Amino acid sequence: MNKELGKIRQVSSEKSWNSMIGAEDTGPPAQNIVAVKTQWREDRASFQLQNELGRLYETSRACLGDLGCLRAEPELDVLMRKTRDPNVRLAAWTGLRDAIGPPSQASFANLIKNENHAAAAAGYTDIGQCWREELETPDLEKVVDDLNKAVTPFYKLLHGFVRFHLSRYYGERLVQLNGTIPAHLLVSPDVS
């Protein structure tokens, strides 16, 4: 990207010089320079937003009283793998969600806006259309719908199985047999 910016500066300088001395303009049209500069600024803004979101995840902490303030990785990850205490798990889960969620909303929305704008400049309706095209599956949405219909019965059985065992472990007060599974009670598969 810096090479492109260097070329833009060079062309811009030449255009300025040529206009001052009355020379004929033989370089690329000015609108191309503006378009490349604009694209560079948008790409740079997207990279900055991605870095900001990554930094937010890496530096955010959930403060859990006596346990201290823990980072998502590795501290909270280890805690969630080791403890089955529903109160500790809920505090860790909500603490991290509250530390990351609200501060990231504006950055994430701006990132999507920038990516959609860049996709539109490339002739796509939005960034989703661009991603779908990369998969080279013209009827991707139908494929996904068909797969969803195929796995839904299994998913419901699996969900019921997990809910049943969590209800037995934590009690129906925390995990109802016909309700949703509280996210903070789900355990990593490698927990013994």
Q: Scanning the structure block, which residue is given the tokens 């205490």?
A: 85
Among 89, 114, 136, where does a domain finish? Answer: 136
CA atoms of 50 and 118, how far apart (whole Å): 15
CA distances in angstroms from 92 to 48, 67, 79, listed in the order given: 28, 10, 8
pLDDT-derived band at 30 (thresholds 50, 70, 90) equals: low
Pair 99, 183 in one domain: no
Pair 49, 127 in one domain: yes
The per-residue DSSP string of 131-192 comes to HHHHTT-TTHHHHHHHHHHHHHHHHHHHHHHHHHHHHHHH-TTTS-TTSPPPGGG---TT--
Among 111, 136, 161, where does a domain finish? Answer: 136
Pair 158, 85 in one domain: no
The per-residue DSSP string of 114-131 comes to HHHHHHHHTT-SSHHHHH
Report pLDDT for 160. Answer: 96
Pair 98, 108 in one domain: yes
Total-model pTM: 0.69
Question: Is there a contact between 123 and 133 (Cβ–Cβ < 8 Å)?
Answer: no
One-letter amino acid at 182 equals P
For the cut 90, the answer to whether the pLDDT of residue 33 exceeds it is: no
Q: What is the mean pLDDT of the chain?
A: 85
CA atoms of 192 and 158, how far apart (whole Å): 19
For the cut 50, the answer to whether the pLDDT of residue 140 exceeds it is: yes
For the cut 90, the answer to whether the pLDDT of residue 3 exceeds it is: no
Domain that holds residue 26: 2-136
Among 94, 115, 136, where does a domain finish? Answer: 136
pLDDT top residue among 44 and 167: 167
CA atoms of 44 and 64, how far apart (whole Å): 37
Report pLDDT for 26. Answer: 55
Pair 52, 88 in one domain: yes
Pair 96, 163 in one domain: no
Pair 81, 172 in one domain: no
Pair 131, 47 in one domain: yes
Report pLDDT for 121. Answer: 86
Pair 35, 93 in one domain: yes
Pair 86, 171 in one domain: no
pLDDT digits (tens, 9 = 90+) for 46-78: 889 999 999 999 999 999 999 999 998 899 999
One-letter amino acid at 7 equals K
Pair 111, 86 in one domain: yes
Taking residues 144-157, what's their average pLDDT?
A: 97
For the cut 90, the answer to whether the pLDDT of residue 96 exceeds it is: yes
Using a pLDDT cut of 70, give the percent of the chain over it: 78
Tokens of 24: 């004929």
DSSP state of 183: G
Cis upstream peptide for 86 (omega within 30°): no
Total number of domains constituting the chain: 2
Report pLDDT for 46. Answer: 85
Pair 112, 144 in one domain: no
